[in-house]
Amino acid sequence: MTQASKAGLPAGEGATGGGQVAQYLTFTLSGDLFGMPIQHIREIIEYGVVTPVPMMPAAVRGVINLRGAVVPVVDLSVRFGREPTAVGKRTCIVIIENVTLEDTDEEGHYLGIIVDAVNEVLDISSENIEDAPSFGVKIRTDFIQAMGKVDGRFVILLDVARVLSVEEIAQLASRGTDTVAAAAQAETSAA
């Protein structure tokens, strides 16, 4: 069994050195190189107007209008427990499609993620994919599906379902509203 199949990674067509090949969109975030399987990517757009939505967790920067559809935008840097992404010339929003809601078979949802810059699409063979490390990385290890080796450098291959878990982001939002409600209750009780 290959490293890629053990990690549950997508297999692409073709082979390099006998291994399955998968394609990943690579992007940078705070100087680190990340990758996502291209089948999750709908499009990449220039960073534009993001409308903030009150009472959302810090990782949800707001929403955008994408050809009439309201698309939530997640600041991936904040989701990883880092500082918010500083918007620059190369900052863009990667639109992820078919993010399936937990406990349903409903598909067709879109999420945008803010990244510092999109780099390229890389073909990574299963022979060049290693298991995710259990320590020593700057993000939650459950967000990492595997590590890809390309030209002597590592690409952190993200587990899209975990990173963009609608359920977990909703729980963060409810914790935020619970905190606001508790603070308001305490303020009322003190008065």
Could you list the residue range(s) of the whole structural domain that residue 161 is in? 3-190
Q: Which of 51, 76, 54, 53 is nearest to 65 (CA)?
A: 51
Beta bridge partners of 111: 96
Is 78 buried (19+), middle (13-18) or exposed (0-12) by CB count in 10 A?
middle
pLDDT at residue 52, rounded to an integer: 94
Q: What is the mean pLDDT of each run of 10 residues along the chain (191 residues)?
A: 43 51 93 92 94 89 91 90 92 82 55 94 91 68 85 89 72 47 41 48
The tally of domains found in the chain comes to 1
Q: Which two tokens stand for residue 11?
A: 């297999």
pLDDT at 137: 58
Q: Using CB atoms within 10 Å of the CB of residue 91, give its burial: 0 to 12 exposed, 13 to 18 middle, 19+ buried.
A: middle
* One-letter amino acid for residue 86 of the chain: A
CATH number at residue 26: 2.40.50.180
User: What local confidence, expressed as pLDDT, does residue 169 receive?
Assistant: 62
Q: Is the pTM of this model over 0.75?
A: no
Residue-level pLDDT at 92: 95
pLDDT at res. 37: 93
